[in-house]
Structure 1
Amino acid sequence: MDDVKAIGVSIRHARKAAGITQGTLADLIGASARTVHAIETGTGNPSLLTVVAAANAVGLHLVTLDG
């Protein structure tokens, strides 16, 4: 669960650094501001596609590590 929260914190920091609101990010990824809040706080159960879209929209890229 710590990974989920860490991803959310990273998205929040990148969003704030970009100077956009949760509402704006939500509009960019086709989700609700409530969903963006859930991603950033590591709560709820947003889809992986939505989390990846949020990360990409703020310039972050999620990768998987083999092994």
Structure 2
Amino acid sequence: MHFQSLIEAIKTRRQNLAVTQEMLSELSGVGLRTLKQFESGKGNPTLETLQKLGNALGMELMFAVKELNVNE
């Protein structure tokens, strides 16, 4: 899933559940400023932050990690 799609999915889920940004901040333990920046497409949330938001909204987030080939 493209990063912008992930942002939209979390924002849409929050809105569909009638959860305010303030409520989601409290439920997830993610700072309100961080959440607002994330939803506006600014900032760079960590995987932990994304997981906290997903958990609070009852979402299962799957992250694909690309394998890197490093020359020795």
TM-score, with structure 1 as normaliser: 0.79
**Corresponding residue of 1:22:** 21
**Number of matched pairs:** 66
8 Å CA contact retained: 2:30, 2:53: no
Query: Which structure has greater helix proportion?
Result: 1
8 Å CA contact retained: 1:5, 1:40: no
Q: Segments of 4+ in structure 1 off by > 3 A?
A: 64-67
Deviations 1:13-64 (A, max 9, x none): 1001111101110111112111112222332022110111101211211114
Give the whole-Å Cα distance in 2 for the aligned partners of 1:55 and 1:40: 13
Q: Which has the higher contact order (CA 8 A, sep 6+)?
A: 1
Name the larger-Rg structure: 2
Root-mean-square deviation (CA, aligned residues, Å) is 2.1
TM-score, with structure 2 as normaliser: 0.75
Give the whole-Å Cα distance in 2 for the aligned partners of 1:45 and 1:11: 15
